[in-house]
Amino acid sequence: MKDYIKIYSHPRSGTHFLENFLAKNFYSNEDLSSEGAIYYGHWSNKLLLEEGEPYHKLFGSHFFPDKTKVANKSIYIYRDGRAVIASLWNSKFYNKEWHGISFSEFLRKDLDWLGGPGQKKKLDINIIQHWEDHILQWERQAGNNILFLRFEDLKNNPENVYEEICKKYFPLKYYSEKIFFKRKIDPIKDKVGLKPNDAKINSWENLFSQDDLNFFYSQLKSTKYLYDN
């Protein structure tokens, strides 16, 4: 079995965007699709993708690092928590019994899933704490085999991210391109993934009130994973 790069992330952090980027720029003409249909979404209302997912062989998991086997070649992609939470809300990846709650309520509500929405578990933390703890635990796990990437960098500077991935996991390709030619990359401009939203950097601004932002910041241990352009 081929040793593909595996992607790990908090849900709605750009997983499918990175899958597409890897597929188009490093695994072109390879069959990376899932073997049959897959389910996604919240455990209370799972949705079936009958045609499967085209780049599923690149997916690692949304689990916390102690709940999954980390591949030899791994990328952890993270995204500003405000955008992650806005995307979860826009995609309705929450309990179907929560239908009708406001975004402010969603922001403050204790979660009923762990790692990803499909994994049922009653928690005493909200989505803000879950998002930050996910990144912190993966950062502590990080070693020589895990490359940390920021979603916003992939959007804004795809050439730099391409070079970073190439240098770490495709060194022969990296040095040959440095010496002989610079490849024209595919930056991925179309919407991708399950229930794709516009992958804009600051799209969250339309959802958060000032009270919501104050609450969001009050839940954080650090602001280092936020993105301000």
| Beta bridge pairs of residue 116 | 114
Averaged pLDDT, 6-18? 96
Global pTM exceeds 0.85 = yes
200-226, pLDDT tens digit by residue? 678 899 999 999 999 999 999 999 999
DSSP, residue by residue, 186-226: ----S--SSS-----TTGGGGT--HHHHHHHHHT-S-STT-
Query: What are the residue ranges spanned by the domains of the chain?
Result: 6-218
Residue 113 and residue 206: Cα distance in Å, rounded?
Answer: 26
117-144, pLDDT tens digit by residue? 999 999 999 999 999 999 999 998 876 6
Residue 95: its H or E element: none
Give Cβ neighbours of residue 128 (< 8 Å, ≥ 6 apart): 81, 85, 107, 215, 216, 219, 220
pLDDT at position 13 is 96
Beta strands in the chain (DSSP E): 6-9, 38-40, 47-49, 59-61, 74-78, 113-114, 116-120, 146-150
Pairing of strands 116-120, 113-114: antiparallel
DSSP, residue by residue, 104-131: HHHHHSBPSEESEEEEE---SSBHHHHH
Q: Which fold has domain 6-218?
A: Rossmann fold (3.40.50)
pLDDT at position 197 is 57
Q: Phi/psi of residue 202, each to 5°? A: -115, 35
Q: What is the rounded average pLDDT for all residues in the chain? A: 89
68-90, pLDDT tens digit by residue? 999 999 999 999 999 999 999 99
21-30, pLDDT tens digit by residue? 999 999 998 9
